[in-house]
Chains A and B, each alone.
Chain A
Amino acid sequence: EPEVTQTPSHQVTQMGQEVILRCVPISNHLYFYWYRQILGQKVEFLVSFYNNEISEKSEIFDDQFSVERPDGSNFTLKIRSTKLEDSAMYFCASVRTGYGYGYTFGSGTRLTVV
């Protein structure tokens, strides 16, 4: 079964540092997403990406965040200057267009900001 792959699985960073979280969506999927889950809280939508541009973003996704599809396979989330409150599990997801297809999520990157 095709998978969404995320790296690294765990990243620890100093407050104020930039981090890049990486994802390889499923190859025939066209829509890509980032979600996050702060410990003990709901999974929250951050951003969706289609046709090489952001299609929707949440209020959380401010100027500190950016996404990029630098080549034909990778999809990245960059946080420019991390804050303590950015500590969370970040999930990448992708979806194939057409009837009957749901989201496929990656296993997540646990980001710890110290």
Chain B
Amino acid sequence: KQEVTQIPAALSVPEGENLVLNCSFTDSAIYNLQWFRQDPGKGLTSLLLIQSSQREQTSGRLNASLDKSSGRSTLYIAASQPGDSATYLCAAPNAGGTSYGKLTFGQGTILTVHP
């Protein structure tokens, strides 16, 4: 059974800081891993998808890495802005499954970026 843990649970930083969010998963035979953003009371917006064959994926100021052997992924946010304030969720599929299997989510990191 896949289990996903995210640390820290909450993070408050001043604008402009670079920051790292951490995700760990118990079963490393995953097909891919996905990072989402959730604003309060809203849906899940996909940020980055990393395939098992990739080590990194970048989109703008966001960079996600994947280390299957250690069961870890990190989301790096460069030059944070107040608009980045949200909950960031990491989700991993069933180990050994396809990209169509169910996702197991972490509890999220609540990020606050203050001006």
Chain A residues packing against B (C-beta within 8 Å): 6, 30-31, 33, 35, 41-45, 48, 50, 56, 58, 89, 91, 93, 95, 97, 99-108, 110
- Establish whether residues B100 and A42, one from each chain, have CB atoms under 8 Å apart when the complex forms: no
- Establish whether residues B102 and A100, one from each chain, have CB atoms under 8 Å apart when the complex forms: no
Chain B residues packing against A (C-beta within 8 Å): 32, 34, 36, 41-46, 49, 51, 89, 91, 99-108
Q: Given A43-B89, A108-B42, A110-B41, A102–B99 Cβ distance below 8 Å? A: yes
CA gap between A46 and B51 in the complex, in Å: 24
5 extra A-B contacts, CB within 8 A, seeds A93-B44, A95-B99: A6-B43, A41-B107, A45-B102, A58-B102, A99-B51
CA gap between A95 and B91 in the complex, in Å: 14
Q: A52 to chain B: closest CB distance in Å?
A: 15
CA gap between A6 and B32 in the complex, in Å: 26
Q: B90 to chain A: closest CB distance in Å?
A: 11
- Establish whether residues A48 and B102, one from each chain, have CB atoms under 8 Å apart when the complex forms: yes
Chain B residue numbers with a CB within 8 Å of A50 are 100
- Establish whether residues A31 and B43, one from each chain, have CB atoms under 8 Å apart when the complex forms: no
- Establish whether residues B100 and A97, one from each chain, have CB atoms under 8 Å apart when the complex forms: yes
CA gap between A56 and B99 in the complex, in Å: 14
Q: A47 to chain B: closest CB distance in Å?
A: 9
- Establish whether residues B43 and A42, one from each chain, have CB atoms under 8 Å apart when the complex forms: no
Q: B59 to chain A: closest CB distance in Å?
A: 12
- Establish whether residues B102 and A107, one from each chain, have CB atoms under 8 Å apart when the complex forms: no
Q: Given A91-B44, A99-B51, A45–B100 Cβ distance below 8 Å? A: no
Identity of the chain B residue whose Cβ is nearest the Cβ of A50 in the assembled complex: B100
- Establish whether residues A56 and B102, one from each chain, have CB atoms under 8 Å apart when the complex forms: yes
Q: Given A45-B102, A56-B102, A99-B51, A106–B43 Cβ distance below 8 Å? A: yes
Q: Which 8 A-B pairs have the closest CB atoms?
A: A107-B43, A102-B49, A105-B44, A43-B105, A45-B102, A31-B100, A102-B34, A108-B43
CA gap between A50 and B91 in the complex, in Å: 21
